[in-house]
Amino acid sequence: MSAARHLALSPDAFLDWEAEQDTRHEYHRGEVFAMAGGTETHARIIGNLHFALRLALKGRGCTVYTDALRVRVEADDLFTYPDLSVVCGPGAFYDAKRTTLLNPLVLVEVLSPSTAEYDRTIKLRFYRQIPGLAAVVLVAQDAPAVDVFAPDGDGWHATADADGAVAIPGLDVTLALTDLYEGVEPADPRAGA
């Protein structure tokens, strides 16, 4: 996420404004933030995750959406673009054009060096406010590692991948890390962010 533009827009005015923009933006309480572009590694991991989830959920009435679909966190007046969103059953949408999802069951973020801290802290806090959300999956880009955050009786807890696989609460799905990182070259320690 980049610096905010102070446009003082209502949520509906933001949706109208963004529909005319060449780039995507996050919206939080009237402030608008331009979204950063991704890398080949980021795109490959998202593609692998999308394919693996679609295959695992086939015939179960679930839909896996890409980052082209916005999600609204109503409790914090946030519009954002997770890398993947999963809905089981009918989707509920904020707008008649069905561009903004209200009821994701699972959200996935592939961590970029520039946004990892934001995704792990602030954005995770926002996501945890979505009613009915069963899990937030944070996928590392620089090494095969996945953290899953899910609610329990005492709040939210984190689990890490184990034995080369990651279980996703709410979906009854376990994915192999080899599938998620297929075709991803190990990070070059000499490379920059």
pLDDT digits (tens, 9 = 90+) for 7-55: 678 888 888 888 888 888 888 887 888 777 778 999 999 999 999 999 9
Beta strands in 91-178 (DSSP E): 100-101, 106-110, 135-139, 146-152, 155-160, 165-168, 173-176
Domain that holds residue 144: 39-180
87 domain-assigned: yes
At 1, the pLDDT band (50, 70, 90 cuts) reads very low
163 domain-assigned: yes
Pairing state between β 78-80 and 25-28: antiparallel
153 domain-assigned: yes
168 domain-assigned: yes
Q: pTM of the predicted model, to two decimals?
A: 0.88
- State pLDDT tens for residues 48-91: 999 999 999 999 999 999 999 999 999 988 999 999 999 999 99
33 domain-assigned: no
80 domain-assigned: yes
What total of structural domains would you count in the chain?
1
Task: Please report where in the chains the tokens 């995770």 appear, as a residue.
Answer: 124
21 domain-assigned: no
What is the Cα–Cα distance from 17 to 76, expressed in whole angstroms?
20
